[in-house]
């Protein structure tokens, strides 16, 4: 992980479809060298994959929300079961198992508030292990590229 690797990661985070040649040109190295570096990063698992960023509104799912849920009991069986069941729902775009006031944080993308409400009632309230939840509609999302270095 030298400065070259960091630069590669920075570039591919912003545009994963950069051609190898263009990436090499930006870094001032030969395409073959660049290719080898990128391959090594993938093999080492530093780069886990490449994903298209899709506009959820264009897919008729303009309403996004976080739902924080609390579960009881917090046994492995309950957690695994909940993860599998909720993760299989198409409305769910991400799920986080967290410490703190809540146990799960669920990110949703749905067509409208009615769908959100229906999800809460039909998918969460229905479940015995869910003892409470709070939902937060998302007004705005901002994503930051992850710089490798943490100054300070």
Q: What is the DSSP letter of 150?
A: -
Letters for 44-63 (x = contact with its own copies by CB under 8 A, - = none) are xxxxxxxxxxxxx-xxxx--
Q: Is 29 in the site for DNA (CB under 7 A)?
A: yes
Residues whose CB falls within 8 Å of the CB of residue 64, separated by 6 or more in sequence, listed in order = 56, 93, 107, 108, 109, 110, 137, 138, 141
Q: Are 148 and 3 in contact (CB under 8 A)?
A: no
Give the residue, chosen from 6, 16, 36, 44, that forms a contact with DNA under the rule CB under 7 A: 36
7 binds, among its own copies, DNA, none (CB under 5 to 8 A by kind): none
Give the residue, chosen from 2, 17, 28, 76, that forms a contact with its own copies under the rule CB under 8 A: 17
By CB under 7 A, name the binding residues for DNA: 4, 19-22, 28-33, 35-37
């Amino acid at each position: 992980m030298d400065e070259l690797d960091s630069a590669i990661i920075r570039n591919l985070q912003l545009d994963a479809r950069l051609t190898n040649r263009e990436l090499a040109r930006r870094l001032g190295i030969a395409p073959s060298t660049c290719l080898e570096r990128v391959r090594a990063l993938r093999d080492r698992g530093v780069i886990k994959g490449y994903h298209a960023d899709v506009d959820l509104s264009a897919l008729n799912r303009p309403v996004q929300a976080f739902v924080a849920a609390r579960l009881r009991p917090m046994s492995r069986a309950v957690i695994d079961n909940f993860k599998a069941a909720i993760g299989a729902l198409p409305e769910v775009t991400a799920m986080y198992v967290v410490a703190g006031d809540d146990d799960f944080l669920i990110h949703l993308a749905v067509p409208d508030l009615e769908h959100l409400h229906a999800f809460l009632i039909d998918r969460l309230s229905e479940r015995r292990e869910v003892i409470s939840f709070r939902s937060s509609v998302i007004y705005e999302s901002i994503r930051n590229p992850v710089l490798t270095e943490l100054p300070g």
